[in-house]
Amino acid sequence: MKLVTIIGARPQIIKAAALSRAIRNHYADQIQEVIVHTGQHYDDNMSQVFFDELQIPRPDYNLHVGSASHGVQTARMTEGIEALLIKEQPDFIVLYGDTNSTLAGAVAAAKIHVPIVHIEAGLRSFNKSMPEEINRIVCDHCSTLLFTPTKAGLENLKREGFSIDEGGVSTGSTTAVPTIDNPKVYHCGDIMYDNSLHFADIAEEKTDIIQRLGLTGKPFILSTIHRDSNTDQPERLSAIFKALIQLSKECQVVLPLHPRTAKLLKTNLDEDLQKQIFSSPNIKLIPPVSFLEMIALERHAQLVMTDSGGVQKEAYFFKKPGIILRPETEWVEIVETGNAILADADEGRIMQAWQHFKNNPPTIFPEIFGDGHAAEFMLEQMLLTNTRK
């Protein structure tokens, strides 16, 4: 079986590590994977570092698309992916998540009848002003095999008309071959959970970021901010940073800065706020870190404050309370179990959430993200349903 895997943005490169590892360890004689990097993320610390650290095979192709407006970026990727699909003739294209690289892969593949595997299917924010919401809806509705990480994802797909049997495990007609018009949905756990389990101890052994940042034995908050809805709106970005300044009076704050945020801090925060942030000894603004460094930080943090999808989940994996800097989340279970609070970009709500978790640190984190073997399950299903055996 031949797969073409599309990656482009940081979280997709990390997710791809789990599938590539499972192929290498269990299916090397049955599955060939061709990796296509769209070039959506290109700085070494947003891309190359993960290949070096997570043993991901070098991409077979890099489209070097780079940054541009949504339309231009997606169009360039679509054009490049279409040409490679025609050349490679894979059995499936594998798409992760909800970025513009995902959307481009979905549009290119669906039109030339390459079956799509969507990993992280069914997630919804119910907020169509998010570019990711559009990308994930389009991708799900162009897919042949949909792997959903959570029950909420399964329910969302049911509501959108995917036929799902009572067991909620798989669907479509069980006898007919799955196709774009007869898709099959599987609830199988989260591929990022596979990675966090696999790399947690390796991170402890191989990184010294806690010592390097002078955080040994010290409580700290880990924060990441990169959503366009936060970075591009000065009043929202200011509210978040005002809260960070308040929090830094109580404990250290570590903030690996996404390049988007690094650029917009300078234009979207007023000078006085910038001065306070850059001069605070308790706010550590650092460049993006590697995945092993990131999970070491998540493991040692007292609390995680983020607008990232991946980081809010990893906080949960490592049993840390989360403050989500968004009005809603696709990972509703984290909030429903009381382990994260939606504080939006609201200084008052952020401080309230902090007080809440200081007084009531959560202790129960139900297993809602699978068993750490989602990648193997997905590959099994691809082999079973592949028609060109």
Residues marked as catalytic: 226
CB of 252 to ligand UDP, least distance (A): 17
Q: Which of these segments, 41-49, 179-187, 295-303, 339-347, binds ligand UD1 (CB under 6 A)?
A: 41-49
Please report, for residues 130, 270, 277, 333, 352, the alpha-carbon distance to residue 313 in angstroms, rounded to integers and kept in the order given.
Answer: 19, 32, 27, 10, 21
Residue 259 interacts, among ligand UDP, ligand UD1, none and using kind-specific CB cut-offs from 5 to 8 Å, with ligand UD1
> How many angstroms separate the most distant Cα atoms in the chain?
65
Residue 256 sits in the site that holds ligand UD1 (CB under 6 A): no
Task: Tell me: does residue 11 bind ligand UDP (CB under 6 A).
Answer: yes
Among ligand UDP, ligand UD1, none, residue 81 binds (CB under 5-8 Å by kind)? none
Rounded to the nearest 5 percent, the helix, strand and coil shares of the chain are 50, 15, 35
Tokens coding 289: 């870190």
Residue 10 binds ligand UD1, judged by CB under 6 A? yes
In the block, which residue shows the tokens 């990727």?
Answer: 77
Nearer to ligand UD1, 36 or 382 (CB): 36
CB of 292 to ligand UDP, least distance (A): 8
Among 57, 168, 234, 259, binds ligand UD1 (CB under 6 A): 259
H-helix segments, the chain? 10-26, 48-54, 70-88, 100-111, 131-142, 151-159, 191-206, 209-212, 228-231, 234-247, 259-268, 271-279, 291-300, 309-317, 332-336, 347-359, 374-385
Binding at 43: pick from ligand UD1, ligand UDP, none (beta carbon under 5-8 Å per type) = ligand UD1
Q: How far is the CB of 301 from ligand UD1 (least distance, A)?
A: 19
Output phi, psi for 386, to 5 deg. Answer: -65, 125
57 lies in the site for ligand UD1, by CB under 6 A: no
Q: Is 203 in the site for ligand UDP (CB under 6 A)?
A: no
Residues that bind ligand UDP (CB under 6 A): 10-11, 14, 224, 226, 256, 288-291, 294, 308-311, 314
